Chains A and B, each alone.
Chain A
Amino acid sequence: DTEVTQTPKHLVMGMTNKKSLKCEQHMGHRAMYWYKQKAKKPPELMFVYSYEKLSINESVPSRFSPECPNSSLLNLHLHALQPEDSALYLCASSQEGQDNQPQHFGDGTRLSIL
């Protein structure tokens, strides 16, 4: 079992739907991340939150909207997605300010856009 919990594990949605991905960690980490990963490719960073504030947005389209309600939770709101957005979405967390600490990943949400 991972220490970063993502829900749902699978999501199928139409291009006009609105849905949200959720991520939770209770390790006291103050940095949280969203990644997008296509099959047999490395994860691509989307967003970074540091101390509940958005610190990095890697030029992600506005149809993806992140939210960090508190230090344990991270959401990714989805609206009007395109078929090319179908991918594995990974959440991760890490201790802030300690370079030797790894990012801990969740199991991911497999998203399919119809």
Chain B
Amino acid sequence: AQKITQTQPGMFVQEKEAVTLDCTYDTSDQSYGLFWYKQPSSGEMIFLIYQGSYDEQNATEGRYSLNFQKARKSANLVISASQLGDSAMYFCAMRERLYNQGGKLIFGQGTELSVKP
């Protein structure tokens, strides 16, 4: 069975500094996808970044980048130049491959990030 582990329940970072949120995963599939979502206190789940298992380069989206280490089964999210608006819950998720049944997401427990001014 697929599993996502986020070992940091909460983290603090100083404004303008970089922060890394950890995510490890377990799967027997050769082909899989990993997603990171941000959830502010308002509730909306915001898609941040995607990494495919066959992607040769680490994904980047603006200030977000993914440190993907396939052999270690880790997909850590790096946020550069933290802003106060980055304070939120962050979830790492893996998509379970289902044929014509939609894509079931397996979520980690989340990391609550607080950015200090």
Residues of A at the B interface (CB closer than 8 Å) are: 2, 31-33, 40-43, 45, 48-51, 55-56, 88, 90, 92, 94, 96-97, 99-108, 110
Contacts and interface: CB of A to CB of B under 8 A. Distances in A.
Nearest to B31: A99
Contacts of A103: 35, 47, 103, 105
Contact of B43 (A32, A97, A110): A110
B112 A105 contact: no
A42 to B, nearest CB: 4
B51 to A, nearest CB: 9
A97 to B, nearest CB: 7
B44 A100 contact: no
Nearest to B4: A42
Nearest to A97: B100
Given A42-B91, A42-B109, A45-B105, A96 B100 contact: yes
Contacts of A90: 43, 45
A54 to B, nearest CB: 10
Interface residues of B, number: 29
A40 B102 contact: no
Nearest to A110: B43
B33 A41 contact: no
Interface of B: 31-33, 35, 37, 42-47, 50, 52, 89, 91, 95, 97-98, 100-105, 107-110, 112
A56 B33 contact: no
Chain A to chain B: the 6 pairs with minimum beta-carbon distance, closest first: A42-B107, A31-B102, A105-B45, A55-B101, A102-B47, A48-B102
A55 B100 contact: yes
Contacts of B33: 99-100
A51 to B, nearest CB: 7
B44 A106 contact: yes
Nearest to A48: B102
A55 B47 CA distance: 24
